[in-house]
Amino acid sequence: MILEPASDASAPGGAAWSGERRDDARRAPASRSGAPASFARRGEGAALVPRPGPAARPFGIYVHFPYCTVHCPYCDFAVATDRAIPQERYTRAVLAELALRSDGFDGLEARSLYLGGGTPSLWDPARVAEVVAAVRSRFALPAQAEVTLEANPESADAGRLAAYREAGVSRFSIGVQSFDPGVLAKLGRRHRPGDAERAVRAAAQVVGNVAVDLIYGARRSTVATARADAERVGALPVTHVSAYALTLEGEVLAEETPLARLRREGRLPLPGDDEVVAQARAIRGALRRAGLRRYEISNFAREGFESVHNRLYWRSESYLGLGVGAFGCRHAVDGAGALRWGNARAPLAYLESVEAGRLPTVEEDRLGPRELAEERMMLALRTREGVAVEEVVSARRAEVAALRRARLAVVRAGRLVLTSRGMDVHSAAVERLMA
């Protein structure tokens, strides 16, 4: 049984893909180095920056707000639980980093802004307004562009949500995770099921475009709780759902988490693989019945509400990450290489670096043509858009036929698209198509 691990999830993100799976992607996939010599480092690269033109490629901007009230025991995101959040200082730092990095994205067309965390719903709305305005004006982000803010149910009352809308937010992503009190308790979440429902309804009244996250495969999760969660979400005014299996494997987590340790010590019984697959199926069925279509392995949307921001990741476009622990990626003009970097995960290190006028980069990877091609295929096959058949190297075309015969994939308008069964074995399918 091949499980589609949450760590192999929705988005380009760092040394691993892991943690609480929001519907965004915040880190870059582990990559080998070896970008082409044609890709210059920041400061060397003026010649690589294309002038704006009709063929300008799109990109997204991700801003990380690392502060949370508590650190959930399964979460390996860049998170801080300072009692007093340095709202002003952190905002200034993000704006300073924007000024430091933005030149590298000239010539691209900004399509979306995503404020993730951490818990961005703890960020003062007036500060969020400053950041949104700065990004808008620096990159001419269109007025109707998708601007998402992640919110936790306990910090998402109607007044606060309305203030975020005034700040320019047009979409909320609510961290529901589950409506089952036992599952929430085992995840270490503080909110109650009713809080989540209230937050979703309030957000829908404010902006009408609300995404939620669900987690399954956790302690106390069963097929019944997974189905009930999806049915309850499907009955709410929700446009988008991300559903991820809890991941605790050390090799995909950026940091050791308390639940991962308990698991390793044999003190955290979790549902087995077959049970987790059954839970995923129950969620898919309930969401389908509620009119939410699966358009990516772990993501579902009502028609027209697919995430603009995440699609940029899945289409292997560039992205600018700002803030503690954020990742960015800039593709070379000729598409033959990319530079991916990650910021300091410790707030103080991040703040001090930016305040001294230095980039807060702590890791950097250069990706070459072959790595990019493989990554593009891996990401594209997560989606219903699939990958152009011609992108499969000729030596592997026989595998395309084999996948079709096994009903794991179809070819539609020249694109290879995994079926639902194929998505369940995504990693294995991708491996067969790699050169």
Query: Residues 144 to 183: which contact ligand SF4 by CB under 6 A?
Result: 152, 175
Interaction pattern, residues 178-217, with ligand SF4; x per rule: CB under 6 A: ----------------------------------------
Tell me how far, at minimum, the Cβ of 116 lies from ligand SF4, in Å: 9
User: Would you count residue 347 as binding ligand SF4 (CB under 6 A)?
Assistant: no
From residue 434, alpha-carbon distances to 370, 390, 393, 412, 427 in Å are 10, 13, 8, 20, 11
φ/ψ of 367, rounded to 5, equals: -110, 135
Q: How many residues bind ligand SF4 (CB under 6 A)?
A: 12
* Residue number, 152 or 353, with CB nearest to ligand SF4: 152
Contact call for residue 326 and ligand SF4 (CB under 6 A): no
Q: Which long-range contacts (CB under 8 A, 24 or more apart) does 6-9 make?
A: 6/217, 6/244, 6/245, 6/246, 6/247, 6/298, 7/247, 7/249, 7/252, 7/253, 8/252, 8/426, 8/427, 9/244, 9/247, 9/297, 9/298
Q: Which of 42, 57, 71, 261 binds ligand SF4 (CB under 6 A)?
A: 71
Rounded to whole angstroms, the Cα distance separating 166 from 128 reads 10
Q: Which lies closer to ligand SF4 via its Cβ, residue 117 or residue 125?
A: 117
382 touches 314 (CB < 8 A): yes
Closest CA to 233 of 180, 160, 310: 180
Please identify which residue in 13, 29, 104, 117 interacts with ligand SF4, judged by CB under 6 A. Answer: 117
Instruction: Point out which span in 65-73, 164-172, 202-210, 378-386 binds ligand SF4 (CB under 6 A).
Output: 65-73
Of the candidates 118, 120, 328, 360, which one interacts with ligand SF4 according to CB under 6 A?
A: 118
Among 59, 77, 164, 172, which residue interacts with ligand SF4 (rule: CB under 6 A)? 77
**Residue 115 CB, nearest approach to ligand SF4 (Å):** 13
Question: Taking each helix axis from N to C terminus, what angle separates 193-206 and 158-167, rounded to the nearest 10 degrees?
Answer: 40
Closest CA to 421 of 432, 406, 433, 400: 406
**Quick one: 112 or 119, whose CB is closer to ligand SF4?**
119
Residue 4 exposed, middle or buried by CB count within 10 Å (0-12, 13-18, 19+): buried
Nearest distance from residue 26's CB to ligand SF4, in Å? 10
Q: Quick one: 190 or 288, whose CB is closer to ligand SF4?
A: 190
Q: Kindly tell me which of 116 and 125 has the beta carbon lying closer to ligand SF4.
A: 116
334 touches 105 (CB < 8 A): no
- Which residue from 25, 79, 214, 433 is in contact with ligand SF4, where contact means CB under 6 A? 79
Neighbours of 143 (CB within 10 A): 7
Residue number, 183 or 403, with CB nearest to ligand SF4:
183
DSSP letter for 77, please: S
Bridge-based pairing state of the strands 415-418 and 387-388 = antiparallel
Q: Quote the CA–CA distance of 18 and 26 in Å, as a whole number.
A: 10
Piece in contact with ligand SF4 (CB under 6 A), picked from 75-83, 136-144, 324-332, 384-392: 75-83
Q: Which is nearer to ligand SF4, 177 or 299 (CB)?
A: 177
| Interface characters, 15-54, with ligand SF4 (x: CB under 6 A) | -----x----------------------------------
Residue 68 contacts ligand SF4 per CB under 6 A: yes
Nearer to ligand SF4, 174 or 392 (CB): 174
Q: Select from 69-77, 100-108, 290-298, 358-366 the region that touches ligand SF4 (CB under 6 A).
A: 69-77
Q: Using CA atoms, how far apart are residues 44 and 256, in angstroms rounded to an integer?
A: 36
Stretch that binds ligand SF4, among 111-119, 134-142, 323-331, 400-408 (CB under 6 A): 111-119
In this structure, the number of other CB atoms found within 10 A of the CB of residue 251 comes to: 9
Beta carbon nearer to ligand SF4, 75 or 210: 75
Q: Which of 160, 340, 175, 314 is nearest to 243 (CA)?
A: 175
Helices and strands (DSSP H and E) totals, the chain: 14, 15
Specify the stretch interacting with ligand SF4 by CB under 6 A; choose among 40-48, 72-80, 92-100, 328-336.
72-80
Provide the β-strand partners of residue 245. 216
Which stretch of DSSP H or E encloses residue 160? helix 158-167
In angstroms, give the least distance from the CB of 189 to ligand SF4: 7
> Please, which residue, 77 or 300, has the CB nearer to ligand SF4?
77
**Residue partners of 333: CB distance under 8 A and separation at least 6:** 48, 49, 50
d(CA 142, CA 377): 29
Interface residues with ligand SF4 (CB under 6 A) are 20, 68, 71-72, 75, 77, 79, 117-119, 152, 175
